[in-house]
Structure 1
Amino acid sequence: MANNRLSRWAGCLVSTLLVGCAISSEQTEALVERSERYGDIEVTIQTRKMRSANYDRESSYESWSLRWRGQPLVIDSFTGMGLDQPMRTEAVHAIFAVGDGAVPDLLVLVGDPNNASVFHVLHQEAGQLLAPVVCKSFGGENEVRVLAGLGAGTAYHGPNYRSLTGARQLLLGNACVYDTATRRAGAIPRLPFDLFAPYAPRAIVFSPDGRSLARLAATDHDQQPVLAVAELGGQDWRRLPIDPARMRFARFEDIDADWILHHFEWRLGKDGLDHLAERPDFKPMPRRGIYVVNSPEFRMPNVTTDQTEAFTAFLARFPGAKRKPDFRMEYSQQVTRSFAIEGEDVVVLADGFYVAGFGLAYWPDQPGDPKLQKALIHRLGDAFEAEVSKGMHETMFGAAPDTDH
């Protein structure tokens, strides 16, 4: 009994890694083992299916191991806080099949996935196995994100075993870019101390020659957006200003690769390298509002002053809207304006509007149903954005976006 219990704990520690495991309340139902081959490398997958003590739920846990020509595969890697101490290991936390060759390479993660870990690429050549280090990752930043090729934009966290054949460029954590065709990785320089990357993965673009990158950053002292540009493997960053008055966005997270390439372009320089520069003739993108998460609320960022009058006039024009009596606070004398629209109470804000009564008891498909409230606020917001796109409200906007909402 004791040996069986130790065996169950060992399996849990190997297979879950970043996932919790509660042995005391689980009963092992089955252990399924299968193998897949990549040339002379064999990947063994163990799946443990667990059912809770009262049999009300079932969970599955997977672990992986590698063999080379029938023997356990040992990888020469590094450990320690600085990843500067040699180690040999058989344990792998994530495996990705990459490359478009007849026998795909295997990109594997070893080390401590919660602190300092190492990516290796396993490549078979002329009967030999090569396992060079392609990236060292610190602080538990070991997400793998497809940047270019099949599945671009998809990100994988934690333990994984999957095929990424067809993917061309991979972002490894926040430290390196790996090119599956050339088997080369470029280190991303650390940002200067006065810059931070608010939403880095979606706001990164790479030059056509694959030697440089640009990413959204913001100044630490006043949170002003800039594009930071650097060569992979280099150390210096240059900064390109972002003019929010012409390069429109509602929030930092709205800036992605498409947004960057709408306003900037790569140009081949005299030094033979691609350099990023502002497009001289880009067309300003339409202004967009913000739908507040988990609340039927719409706000229009970048308004210069209190726009209560403008939003009141807009709601008054909406089909079927009826103005309700204003409510004046007894002590502050602040006045709240609202409209009855489709059985809901829509309240005017200085920069938008919201549906009142969210979270109260309701009957499905009747006024008060959060589904109906969300649909209504989106119809109202879309209608206001349509008026903005026609230039009806241009006087309400200023130069800097409001990033607080």
Structure 2
Amino acid sequence: MTSSDTLAHNYHPLPVTLTSGEGAWVRDVEGRTYLDLLAGYSALNFGHRHPDLTAAAHRQLDRLTLSSRAFDHDLLHPFAEALSALSRPVIAGIDAPMVLPMNTGAEAVETAIKTARKWGHQRGIPEDEGTIVVAEGNFHGRTTTIVSFSTDPEARQGFGPFTPGFRVVPFGDAQALRAAVDERTVAVLLEPIQGEQGVVVPPADYWPTVRQICNDTDTLLIADEIQSGLGRTGTTFALELWGVRADLMTLGKALGGGVLPVSAVVGCPDVLGVLTPGSHGSTFGGNPLACAVGLAVIELLSTGQVQHRARELGTHLHERLRTLVQGGLLTGTRGVGLWAGLDVDPAWGTGRQLCERLLELGVLAKDTHGSTIRLAPPLTIAAEDLDLALDRLTHALR
């Protein structure tokens, strides 16, 4: 049995084995260096081994790493208070959002789904009848419940029977969403921007209209900011692009700074308050090490400098990508901040083939849905390194 036989084949990685990283650069076992334009699907918004984040982890490793939620620890409430304050601009109608710490993004989404259902049941919707409206092309995780409402055959096929209670409508179509909401709807669950689908940005009036629909029908609005949140779009949260507030928001990925899994559900106390002792929990959720790193992440975002940098570099990124479309090297591009989806002409090849060519040129990127690749460099990438990566992309396409 070879080493490849001992590892489940649920991924098809590019042929590179990494050993170290710093900032936007990583090194492989042969000593070659690469610019990382995937950033752990936005988990590495602050780059590899950001000194503030690794220092926070080192300090906490010498103190306490786990207490479980059977006991409090000295960083749990400070973390909740800091994340609550950071999230205040995008949570509806309150000055002090409530925080429920978890571990992975999928775990946060599962928590939000459970919370919304219980909230709806307590408001008179019969149990087993509450529905949640979601969007085609969504990606919220890979648990059984979540893939039950996925429209990606690869993520869904073979994993039934599926969890009922979801209605799927086209992303960006507010009128279709309005038609799907009825007296049995407890929530609308959406990504502000669909990352896995290829960084799909909805029409400008979409999110304000969705918010109004939820207001009119007394329906919860749940925003999945796991990929889009924490600086990626040039704002702390993508919802700020449209001035919209959610009732619940899920966070993950960059909240752990690429050091360890950290996630959370943030929202209105009268919604999260439906969870009582014993009704939901997590052994590692809100552990001391996670809180130490999460606090350091929030501190990095508190000045607004990271977000400002993502806006400035993002403007430059999208200008350069548009020239590749105008020059016929790409069929389309879209995105916001330091986040972009690039469409390759299928006659040229696949997104995978482009990523393999970029790998040869020392750039790491990831394909999605056949002919599309995503770019999501660390928000701390140097301007000259971003240009170097785009020069190599241009060379690869030519």
Place the TM-score, normalised by the shorter chain, in its bin: under 0.3
The structure, 1 or 2, with the larger RCO (C-alpha pairs under 8 Å, 6+ apart) is 2
> Which is strand-richer, 1 or 2?
1
The structure whose Rg is larger is 1
TM-score (structure 2 length as normaliser) = 0.23
TM-score (structure 1 length as normaliser) = 0.23
> Which is helix-richer, 1 or 2?
2
